[in-house]
């Protein structure tokens, strides 16, 4: 049995993963602030440039399970270092891309590292800590993603404005080099319990009812988030009455809420996991519904944008931990990566649903309350999953390798 790492090493190990998460989060979202420059420089329309976002999301969705399977025989530290190498080279290719087609290819290649990094990183993070701190370990790693949204994306957009969009990708390439180095230096070598999964075990993980229900909860929860967040700019300008220049400062409030909510969600999940799943999904639904009215009052809109960020990312650690708890043995890395893919599928579904409501439904003002229906549906799925727990008589609690506290909700 591998001994626990020294206390002084533990934070550095988790923060090494956080640095990688920061780089990946920055490259995922920074393109949103560079679309016009990319479109002008590469002589394509803004809608065509926008496909660079969709291409990245598709690469995450497809790449997460495939790369997890392909790297299943490798030690997890080696996988993380290799993934950051792919990430770094992909961003370098973005900076050098001479045309739109090669930029799209480079973006997709870069995205392949995303899901597997967070999936394998979640397993590594939870292996570093005591059972009662596992969800907090996940939230610490995901803090890199939230800080990227708060600081990395605006800084990258500003860098692109001042020095050209390629400068932003050069900067992210440098972040990738740093992240690769700190992960290689600080993440310890550990035995990979998923080293030789059979095809039967792999298919068993995907088909396991509780894992599937956990993935569905993730899709529904984050579909609700992105049904609103995708259209946050027109919501703030057309409904709340903010100027275009005021949107960025308001979004800083959203980013601050994300960081707080992410850390809070980890603590709640450590205390009682299933109540945290119920509570965070219910809070998200309530906040989305309340935003229907709050957005019409500018001061209330600012406050609720922050609360929205907190409610959205409070769900991350509980949902990720639920899937990890329900995946056993050879399936943990795969299930974890599938859940990252589920987050991205939720992003795409939410953006599509929001667009349908705006173009073919009751309009922009109804996006928030219709989005609230998605985490409410997630609550129904959570209740179903919890009922299965009760029917199994708590056997799953004792079977999971991630929990040695039978009294905790599963």
- DSSP track, 195-243: SS--HHHHHHHHH-HHHHHHHHHHHHHHHHHHHHHTTHHHIIIIIS---
The SS3 call for residue 327 is: coil
Rounded to 5°, the CA angle 399-75-10 comes to 75
How is residue 71 written in tokens? Answer: 């790297």
**What is the rounded distance in angstroms from the CA atom of residue 21 to the CA atom of residue 72?**
21
Write down the pLDDT at residue 197.
Answer: 59
Q: Map out the domains of the chain as residue ranges.
A: 1-195, 197-401
Write down the pLDDT at residue 404.
Answer: 44
Residue 87: CB atoms within 10 Å: 27
The SS3 call for residue 71 is: coil
**What is the rounded distance in angstroms from the CA atom of residue 94 to the CA atom of residue 331?**
33
Write down the pLDDT at residue 344.
Answer: 84
**What is the rounded distance in angstroms from the CA atom of residue 332 to the CA atom of residue 383?**
23
**φ and ψ at 95, to 5 degrees?**
-65, -30
Cβ–Cβ under 8 Å, residues 296 and 245 = no
Question: Which of 231, 359, 376, 361 lies closest to 295, judged by CA?
Answer: 231
- Containing 47, the helix (H) or strand (E) segment is helix 46-70
CATH top class, domain 197-401 = mainly alpha
**What is the rounded distance in angstroms from the CA atom of residue 239 to the CA atom of residue 364?**
8
Write down the pLDDT at residue 136.
Answer: 85
Q: Which positions of the chain have pLDDT values less than 70?
A: 1-11, 47, 190-203, 328-331, 393-410
**What is the rounded distance in angstroms from the CA atom of residue 4 to the CA atom of residue 133?**
13
Range 1-195 has CATH code 3.90.930.12: no
Write down the pLDDT at residue 399.
Answer: 47
Residue 249: CB atoms within 10 Å: 11
How is residue 289 written in tokens? Answer: 């519904």
Region class of 328: left (phi > 0), else alpha (psi between -120 and 50), else beta: beta
The SS3 call for residue 68 is: helix
Q: Give the position of tokens 């946050």.
A: 232
Is 0.75 topped by the overall pTM?
Answer: yes
Domain pair 1-195 / 197-401, same fold: yes
**What is the rounded distance in angstroms from the CA atom of residue 298 to the CA atom of residue 233?**
14
**What is the rounded distance in angstroms from the CA atom of residue 115 to the CA atom of residue 343?**
9
Q: Give the position of tokens 């800083």.
A: 252
Write down the pLDDT at residue 330.
Answer: 61
- Containing 176, the helix (H) or strand (E) segment is helix 165-186
DSSP designation for 131: G
Q: Give the position of tokens 């640095």.
A: 19
């Amino acid at each position: 049995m591998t001994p626990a790492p020294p206390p002084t090493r533990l934070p550095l190990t988790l923060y090494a993963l956080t640095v990688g998460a920061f780089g990946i989060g920055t490259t995922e979202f920074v393109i949103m602030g560079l679309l016009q420059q990319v479109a002008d420089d590469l002589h394509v329309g803004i809608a065509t440039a926008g496909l660079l976002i969709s291409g990245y999301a598709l690469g995450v969705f497809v790449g997460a399970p495939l790369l997890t399977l392909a790297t299943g025989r490798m030690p997890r530290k080696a996988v993380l270092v290799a993934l950051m190498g792919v990430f770094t080279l992909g961003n370098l290719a973005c900076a050098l891309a001479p045309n739109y087609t090669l930029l799209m290819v480079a973006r997709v290649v870069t995205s392949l590292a995303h899901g597997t990094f967070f999936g394998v990183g979640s397993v590594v993070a939870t292996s570093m800590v005591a059972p009662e701190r596992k969800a907090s370990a996940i939230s610490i790693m995901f803090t890199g993603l939230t800080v990227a949204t708060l600081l990395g994306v605006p800084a990258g957009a500003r860098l692109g404005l001042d020095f050209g969009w390629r400068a932003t990708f050069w900067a992210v390439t440098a972040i990738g080099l740093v992240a690769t180095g700190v992960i290689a230096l600080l993440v310890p070598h550990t035995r990979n319990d998923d080293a030789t999964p059979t095809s039967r075990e792999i298919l068993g993980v995907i088909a396991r009812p509780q894992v599937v229900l956990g993935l569905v909860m993730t899709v529904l929860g984050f579909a609700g988030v992105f049904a609103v967040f995708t259209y946050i700019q027109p919501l703030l300008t057309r409904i709340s009455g903010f100027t275009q220049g005021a949107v960025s400062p308001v979004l800083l409030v959203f980013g601050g809420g994300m960081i707080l909510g992410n850390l809070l969600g980890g603590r709640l999940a450590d205390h009682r996991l299933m109540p945290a799943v119920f509570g965070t999904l219910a809070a998200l639904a309530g906040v989305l519904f309340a935003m229907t009215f709050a957005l019409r009052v500018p001061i209330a809109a600012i406050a609720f944008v922050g609360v929205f960020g907190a409610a959205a990312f409070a769900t991350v650690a509980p949902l990720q931990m639920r899937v990890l708890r329900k995946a056993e043995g050879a399936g943990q890395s795969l299930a974890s990566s599938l859940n990252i893919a589920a987050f991205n599928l939720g992003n795409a579904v939410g953006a599509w649903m929001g667009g349908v409501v705006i173009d073919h439904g009751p309009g922009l003002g109804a996006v928030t309350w219709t989005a609230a229906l998605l985490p409410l549906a997630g609550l129904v799925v959570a209740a179903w999953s919890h009922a299965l727990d009760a029917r199994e008589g708590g056997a799953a609690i004792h079977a999971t390798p991630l929990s040695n506290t039978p009294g905790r909700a599963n």
